[in-house]
Amino acid sequence: NAGVTQTPKFQVLKTGQSMTLQCAQDMNHNSMYWYRQDPGMGLRLIYYSASEGTTDKGEVPNGYNVSRLNKREFSLRLESAAPSQTSVYFCASKIDRGRYYGYTFGSGTRLTVV
């Protein structure tokens, strides 16, 4: 039982390049989330998916797209990376039964855009 797995762990991009951050969970959770964390800040929600086939914008969606490929996987895509997107990205998942359970976070992807 691996929990939430993010790949890659580290990535350096040049401005304008594109890439996809992968996230997979093996806990049969319904909801999945993408957050970014900048230095000295808490996590800010980029996009979330309450269930397979649905996605919604969070607080800071500009410059990103997401795909809920199936119940297990939720990917985040940067179409044209910008230095402002240098950040640590965290994926999380949560089961919705009862809505009183803590979220499970991946270990993060550290992205640098130069």
Partner 1 sequence: SQQGEEDPQALSIQEGENATMNCSYKTSINNLQWYRQNSGRGLVHLILIRSNEREKHSGRLRVTLDTSKKSSSLLITASRAADTASYFCATDALMNSNSGYALNFGKGTSLLVTP
Residues that bind partner 1 (CB under 8 A): 31, 33, 35, 40-45, 48, 50-51, 54, 56, 58-59, 90, 92, 94, 96, 99-108
For residue 83, give the 3-state DSSP assignment: helix
Q: How far is the CB of 55 from partner 1 (least distance, A)?
A: 9
Q: Shortest approach of partner 1 to residue 31 CB, angstroms? A: 6
Q: How far apart are CA 64 and CA 18, in angstroms?
A: 10
SS3 label, residue 85: helix
The residue type found at 81 is A
Pick 19 or 50: Cβ nearer partner 1? 50
Q: How far is the CB of 6 from partner 1 (least distance, A)?
A: 9
Helix (H, G, I), strand (E, B) or coil at 42: coil
